[in-house]
Amino acid sequence: MLPASPNSYNDVWQNCLIRIKEQTSEEVFVKWFKPIVPIDFDGTTLRLRVPNESYVNHIEKHFIPFLRPIIHQLFGPKTRLRYAIPRADVQNTAPEADGAPVNAYANRTDATNIKNPFIIPGIRKIIIDPQLNPNYCFDTFIEGDCNRLTRSAGLAVALNPGKTPFNPLFIHGDSGLGKTHLAQAVGMEVKQRHPDLKVLYVSTSKFQAQFQNAAMKGELNDFIHFYQMIDVLIVDDIQELAGKEKTQNTFFNIFNHLHLSFKQLIITSDKPPVELKEMEQRLITRFKWGLTTELTVPDYETKVKIIRSKSLRMGAELSEEVIHFLAEHITANVREIEGALSSLVANASFLGRKITVALAKEILKVYVKYTRKEITIDNICECVCQHFSLSAEKFGSKKRTREIAQARQVAMYLSKSHTKASLTAIGTAIGGKNHATVLHACKAINNLMETDKDFRSQIDEIEKKILLR
């Protein structure tokens, strides 16, 4: 391609200046762009004369991600830059000018990349999507003994990000205890209280994917510059950096820059810093600079508050018996509570049944860990007799009044539902009947429950007594 004439590239450069002026402050434009003079363009390399070497350093550090798209659009996508410094009478080549053509930032479509929110001093700010879930806020994070310290520290950070001793705020704990929720709650609170600050949440897996993509495209400097512009950086599951030396080195540089600039870092992990494996020691040391705090399994009272809060948010009405039943038997974490509640509410809705302890036990076997002693046929018969005000003698007699016959059928139905006994064993224990009689009783009770709401309520009441024995 033949070199462009001086008038041609001068005109194009003037168009560049017009676009630059539209997107910068007057002060920045006059100081950093107006003194630049184009001296040559051969179709691929644009030579610019700058006043001194500091211009080269400043432009490369702060303005290249902003300047590239304009240069590419007006001079061509393969255009490279070279700088001429008159005082030294030498040519200073930009880091990318003597290599491959600079990449076209304006055409990024890779889904692993966050938006291209490079914030450059003096240039009108580009809005950064903080990648936060609005449901993860302090209002929906239930406080308890298991998380009080961490929650308090997170709120202190949100009030004054980067200016507290809690930098970084390192939150660790087992999966499902609310690390992501609390970390994002801090971010949401910062956005509300300090709307001008740039907040970003990123999972370590996504950070790693972005790093690999930037390295492959030769854009690592821009990748680092982007993260160095963030005011509050939230990195989730930092343990996933284990063994990734190059990514760790890059994150180390980002961490150092942010910390020295009094920017806030919030890091989550499934382990405390001292237990992280295959992690550079200098990173581990920096993780311990601020506050390391742990989230533990919620205690009984906290679980009760969590269940009440989450059930209300789901629009489900749970009795105190059901709430305490779930709190007593769900022993793992907050995520298990959410899963159990969602399953219970969905099944109750689909089956058209009221949420009771009996239904909770029936539906939530996957979630609930039971510790009560095994339910026996004798236990069931005792509860049935108590409900119908029958003595054990009458219940076991040969009388066949409607009241006694129905009580026996209820006992057979509940025995089939809540024990592992065979139909023959149930019949033998309740009146010496055969398996066909038990099967008939179960069908009769099931049909009656479907047609008579009052009767179904009675069965639910008996089941609740059985389960809570």
Whether 132 maps to a domain, the answer reads no
pLDDT tens-digit series, residues 22-65: 777 777 888 888 888 888 888 888 888 888 877 788 787 777 77
Looking from the CA of 327 toward its CB, the CA atoms found within 13 Å total 21
Q: What's the full length of the chain, in residues?
A: 469
Residues 291-297, mean pLDDT to the nearest whole number: 88
> Tokens representing 81?
């830059």
Whether 415 maps to a domain, the answer reads yes
Q: pLDDT > 70: what percent of the chain?
A: 84
Last residue of a domain, one of 256, 275, 294: 294
What was the pLDDT predicted at 163?
Answer: 87
pLDDT > 70? residue 387: yes
Considering the domain architecture, whether residues 18 and 147 belong to the same structural domain is answered as no
Considering the domain architecture, whether residues 414 and 332 belong to the same structural domain is answered as no
Whether 62 maps to a domain, the answer reads yes
The conformational region for residue 162 under phi > 0 = left, psi -120 to 50 = alpha, else beta, is: left
How far apart CA 226 and CA 230 sit, in angstroms, is 7
pLDDT > 70? residue 233: yes
> Tokens representing 306?
């969590």
Three-state SS at 178: coil
Say which DSSP state 166 is in: -
Last residue of a domain, one of 342, 366, 390: 366
Last residue of a domain, one of 78, 101, 124: 101
Considering the domain architecture, whether residues 277 and 309 belong to the same structural domain is answered as no
E strands present in 329-415: none
The CATH code of the domain that includes 436 is: 1.10.1750.10
The conformational region for residue 265 under phi > 0 = left, psi -120 to 50 = alpha, else beta, is: beta
Q: Which of 235, 263, 89, 97 is nearest to 167 (CA)?
A: 263
pLDDT tens-digit series, residues 186-227: 999 999 999 889 999 999 999 999 999 888 888 888 888 889
* Residue ranges making up the domain that contains 449: 377-467
How far apart CA 83 and CA 48 sit, in angstroms, is 5
Long-range contacts of 441-444 (CB under 8 A, 24+ apart): 441/408, 441/409, 441/412, 441/413, 442/409, 442/412, 442/413, 442/416, 444/409
How far apart CA 310 and CA 316 sit, in angstroms, is 9
Considering the domain architecture, whether residues 84 and 20 belong to the same structural domain is answered as yes
Considering the domain architecture, whether residues 79 and 147 belong to the same structural domain is answered as no
> Tokens representing 94?
């930009």
What was the pLDDT predicted at 251?
Answer: 92
Considering the domain architecture, whether residues 68 and 209 belong to the same structural domain is answered as no
What was the pLDDT predicted at 110?
Answer: 40
pLDDT tens-digit series, residues 68-110: 878 888 888 888 888 888 654 444 433 333 333 333 333 333 4
pTM of the model: 0.52
How far apart CA 381 and CA 430 sit, in angstroms, is 8
Overall domain count for the chain: 4
Q: How far apart are the first and last CA of the chain?
A: 90
Whether 110 maps to a domain, the answer reads no
pLDDT tens-digit series, residues 304-323: 888 887 777 777 777 788 78
Q: pLDDT > 90: what percent of the chain?
A: 17
* Helix (H) / strand (E) containing 342: helix 334-351
Considering the domain architecture, whether residues 285 and 309 belong to the same structural domain is answered as no
What was the pLDDT predicted at 182?
Answer: 92
The per-residue pLDDT of the chain, averaged, comes to 80
Looking from the CA of 267 toward its CB, the CA atoms found within 13 Å total 29
Cis ω on the peptide bond leading into residue 168 (within 30° of 0)? yes
Whether 97 maps to a domain, the answer reads yes
Considering the domain architecture, whether residues 146 and 281 belong to the same structural domain is answered as yes
Considering the domain architecture, whether residues 447 and 304 belong to the same structural domain is answered as no
Q: Which of 365, 349, 358, 355 is nearest to 307 (CA)?
A: 355
157, β-bridge pairs: none
